[in-house]
Each structure stands twice: as C-alpha cells, then as structure tokens.
Amino acid sequence: MSLFKRVLIWGALGLVCSSVSLAALAGVASHGLPNVEAISTFVPAQSTKILSEDGIVLAELHQEENREVIPLDQISPYVKKAVVALEDTDFYSHHGVNPKAIARAVIHDIFAMRFAEGGSTLTQQLARNLFLNQKKHMTRKVAEAVLAIQIEKKYTKSEILEMYLNQVYWGHNAYGIESASQQYFGKHARELNLAESAMLVGMLQGPEIYSPFRNFGASKGRQKVALDRMQKLKVITPETAKRAYLQPIVLAPKKIFRYKAPYFTSQIVSQLISMYSEKDVYTSGMKVYTTLNYKWQMKAMQLITDYVQKGKSSTFMIEDEAVNHLNFSQAAMMAIDPNTGYIKVMQGGVDFQENEYNRCTQAKRQPGSAFKPIVYLTALEKGFTPASIVEDTPISFNTPQGVYAPQNYTKKFLGSITLRKALEKSINVVAIKLTHLMGPQNVVRVAHQLGVKSPLSPFISLPLGINDMTMQELISVYGVFASNGKYVEPISILKIEDRNGEVLFKSTIKDKQVFDSNLISTLVDMMRGVLISGTGTAARIDRPAAGKTGTTSDYKDAWFFGFVPQLVCAVWVGNDNNASMNKVTGGTVPAMMWKEFMTEALAGMPVEEFPKPGGISLKKEEVSPEQTGPKQNWESASSRTESKIPTPSRKEKTDEDRILDFFKKQP
C-alpha cells in the first residue's frame, strides 16, 4: 500500500474518531447548559443616570459595569461594519460557528502548543460573555459552540449583533458601545465617524492594552488594522481608509470628578440608596431627574472659587477701609424655588475632592442677624407695626451669669427708631428689647412654625442668632417669606424612571400655609429696605428683592439671605475651624456674591412684585419711658420660663392689645 493511501486511511480514521470524540464532548458540554431563551429576559447590569433639570448628566452610577443599552438603529453603521469585518467576516452566512475559522485557529494552536487563537464568531463571544467564564479550555469551547448554534436558531442576526455590541467590554469599566463612545469621545454611539469606529473596534482585542488614553500609538495601530480589513473586504475604498486614518482623533477629557455638582449629586445618591437597594441603584439602569439647574450651579461654583481666591489676594473696601487678606477659606451657596421647594443650586464648599463636607446641609453654624426677621415677624404677630417706635438706648439685663448689656455692631445708639429702620440697620438692642417684650418662647415658637427643625434655646439673645442651624433650614424659612407664608418641603428629585421609561417615583410638592400672608407681606416690605438703604445695599439688584445680612461675633460667620418671588438664595463665608475673618460681614462679600449670582440667574426671568401688605397701621407708635421702666428692670429671658407680660382682662384686652399697651400712640 502506498504511503499516500496509508495517510489517507489514517486521516479518515482520525477524522471519524475526532468527530465521534467531539460529538461525545458536545454531549457532555451540553449537559446543564443554560436555556438560550433566557437571553430574552436577560437584564444586563446598566448604569443609573442622574440628570439635572437642564439635561446635563450629573453622574452615571455603576459598580462592576458601566453600561447603557441602546437599540441597533442608534449605533453608527461604521461600528457595525467594522466589527463584522474585523471580528467575524462570515457573520451573516454562518449558523453560530465558523468551521473555516475553527480550522485556522486549530492550526495556530498546534504550532503555538497552546490556545493561542480562539476562532470564535460574534455569536460564540456573546454566548461566552452571557453564560460562560473566560478561561480557555476544550469543554468551554465546545459549550460555547453549542450555545452559539442555539442562539442562532432563536434570534436574528440583527438581534445578535445588537446584544453583542451592548454586552462587550471596551476598557476603563465601559461596557457596551454607548458607554465606550461616551467614555472615549464624549458622544453618542450613533454619532461615531469611521475613524472613531475603527479605533473602538480595533481595541476589542485588548481594551485596556489598546486604550487611547493609555497608549495612543497602539490604539492607532489597531485602528489601521480595522481599516485595512474593511478595505480588503471592499467595505470601504482605499481612499476612504486613508482619509479615516489621517483624520485627527479628538478624545474626551478623562473624567476627574466622579460626579458633576458633587455636593448635590452625592446627596441624591444617598437618597436613592435609602429608597432602593444599593444593588438596584448601581445596576438597574434607572434615570433620575433632579431639580438642579446646572448652569446656575456652575455660576455658584465659579463665584465661590473666585471669591475665596480674592479673599486671599485682593483688596476690599470694608467700612471705608482698604482690607487685605480677608482670612476666609470656605464658602457655600444654595438656591431654591420658594413656590415648589425645588433645590436649584447646592455648592457646599470650595472643593469636594479636597473635602466632602457639605456646608449647605451638614454644617450647623450660628446665623447671626440673619435670624432677626423671625423676631420681627413675631413682633408683627403680636401687634407691632413697621412704624412702631422703640428706643435704641443702652440697657442691661440681670442674668445668672451676671449683667448682660447688649451692644450694637457700631457700638453706637440711635435713640428713637422705627421697627422698619431697626431691621434695615440690623440694630441689636432693638431686636433684643422686642424679644424681651414678647417672650423668647414666642420667638422660638414662630421659628419652628416657619420650618426651623433644630432645637432653639429661649434666651433673650435669640435675635443675635446664637443657636446653630443649617443653611438649608434657614433658606427654607426665607422661602416662607418669599412665598407669602407658605412652607414648602425642599425637593431634589423630580422623578425616577426604570430602564424602560416606566415611572418608579414622582415627587409631590408638599406645601402648607404656616403664617398669616398679610403679616408675611408686611415683613417682606420691611426687608426690602435692607437692600435699598440698610446693611445689604451691596446686594441691590434692578428688581424688587428683599433679604437680610448676618454676621456672628468675632467675624466667624458672614451670611446673606435674599430673595425675589421666584428664587431664594443663601450665601455663607467663613472657616471650618471657626477662625475669625478680617472684618467680613454679611453685607460685604456674601452680599456681593449674592448679587452676582442673582443677576445671572434672573436674566430673562420676568420681574414680579411682592404682594402688598394691607391693614397694618403706619402711624408712629413709641414705647413710653414709664411703660418700659428703668433699664435695670428688664428681666433676662435666661432666668425665667415665661416673659412677664401684663395679663389682659378677658373683657377688654386681646393678645395684641397686651403688647400694644407698651406703646404711646402718636397722631
């Protein structure tokens, strides 16, 4: 028998044995394999997106897999052509496995003495990614082939290609073509051009190795391989391939922050985890629509960065004196819509990466004179009017700690002064006298009625803002002023959708009328004077606005709270370690920052007037010396539980009359 015949016979016998062995191996590998119909219900991990009110993606939440699943018609045709050309030339003609590719791979593996080349079709790769591990061994390869054939029987080529492109890994924790497109080029997958598509497809052989972020030269080399293959298969012309290769590649900036608007977004993440499981938040592909106005947020961040830097290097005119190095290292800004409670801006500090502490929601600090409007609202409730006269004169109170003699910021006294002017000028002594007359407990009651949640000590020094509270608490109180007596719960999430667009959650505006609207409009009318001729003139803007400055002892905190009917904004500057600033008051840096922010935020927004107060007497009313008594008789609120206000007879006195008894009416 000739050598040729012997080789032919032994080859035939080998082929039969191999076929029998492979069939037996396929039977073993098929045992216990998953049902490919499960692909229909398979839900890949998908990133949750958090979006701003104006459509900016603030964060994409994911753990192992950053993915966004998209339909095939939203993927660039260049990507589809490139991946078939480079990864599976016969994709549209085979039935799950490609015998030619397997034979070629076997030859390569024999010469390499290892599993050097896979020969897997796109369908096999999909089966491996969905159902199997990545370790190369014969049983897995056979199982992969069996599953691929089953997948091809069940699904169309278009469905398989769509699943593949949404499943495959592209490096840097990006799974699926949409995430990869956004990661590397900052655009949607449907917008990818030929050059970008070829580079992405070329990376599939080693996504981390060929990442253009890590090795742009190697990535360009793989791009050329993809273009050459497309040219060889006549998918594109040589001229088109050359133009694509020479086309400049513009990579998206590598992300430094995990989140945009991180002070706000980190709160959203915490809120989501409290509403759903952490696994769902990071893998379910929800879309979270928030209240944040990203444009305004960027303005707030810019102002805080600029002013903290200016405070270190620029000269400011404060009280007609040039002051260098204002000595503050932190600032915060928050803005809400008073009619809905929507949080529009939350910039809790200078740099979230350096310090994640949120000074809008976590820091409890003394608000200083920014608390005084609550005192004046209590006075209005008890019958005082903006025209009531109180004596701004020295006075002292006996307290368990000794004699307390309050001072004004200027260390001067203005004598007889209306409540309106006293609020505009932020006169400490007048506010303290009012608190004594009404009883600190009444002021505390009104503060809680307006939305303050922190405990407040009923001391006579309440008007000086001695109790710690958060910016968010007090801005909500100012929201009551702006909305004419209506308290609205702050809202940061508008709605949440699942990956299919079904609404999981929708916010409801929770508002409640907590104070008499006429008294609120009267207070707001008084507070407008703060910007017109009071301590907040640096915040004056070209439309009706109201507000209040706040400065704590030793210049440790400086605040400005201001509002128009559509928007409330709060600004704080200071130091986390409570170090004193250099003469910074609420009417200086915070008022200037507030004005700059509001000027931009309100541009194009219609001018609205505040409601006019009615029924409040504008006649001058003053406290008579014989009614107030000598100054040493003013009792300290810290040494009693109730203010000693004369009790009216049920017959002829009202609660308001009891307070007005302290006044001598003037024509």
Active site residues: 87, 369
Q: How far apart are CA 227 and CA 236, in angstroms?
A: 8
Q: How far apart are CA 194 and CA 558, in angstroms?
A: 56
CB-CB contact of 110 with 200 (8 Å): no
What six digits make up the tokens of 451? 């939305």
Question: Which residues are within 8 A (CB) of 107 and not within 5 positions of it... i.e. 6 or more apart?
Answer: none
Q: How far apart are CA 106 and CA 138, in angstroms?
A: 11
Read off the amino acid at residue 534: G
As to burial, measured by CB atoms within 10 angstroms (0-12 exposed, 13-18 middle, 19+ buried), residue 497 is middle
Q: How far apart are CA 479 and CA 502, in angstroms?
A: 33
Tell me how crowded residue 207 is: count the other CB atoms within 10 A of its CB: 16
CB-CB contact of 608 with 484 (8 Å): no
Q: How far apart are CA 102 and CA 599, in angstroms?
A: 69
Of the CA atoms within 13 Å of residue 63, those in its CB half-sphere come to: 9
- How many angstroms separate the Cα of 616 from the Cα of each of 386, 518, 519, 660? 8, 9, 8, 13
- How many angstroms separate the Cα of 618 from the Cα of each of 87, 386, 522, 667? 85, 7, 11, 11
Written as one string, the DSSP assignment of 66-134 is EE----GGGS-HHHHHHHHHHH-TTTTTSSS--HHHHHHHHHHHHHHTS-------HHHHHHHHHHS-S
Enter the DSSP assignment of 35.
P
What string of H, E and C letters represents the secondary structure of 496-544? EECCCCCEEEECCCCEEECCCHHHHHHHHHHHHHHHHHCCCHHHCCCCC
CB-CB contact of 178 with 171 (8 Å): no
Question: Which residues are within 8 A (CB) of 444 and not within 5 positions of it... i.e. 6 or more apart?
Answer: 456, 458, 462
Strand order in the sheet with 663-665: 415-418, 388-392, 621-623, 663-665
Q: Which helix (H) or strand (E) holds 297?
A: helix 294-313
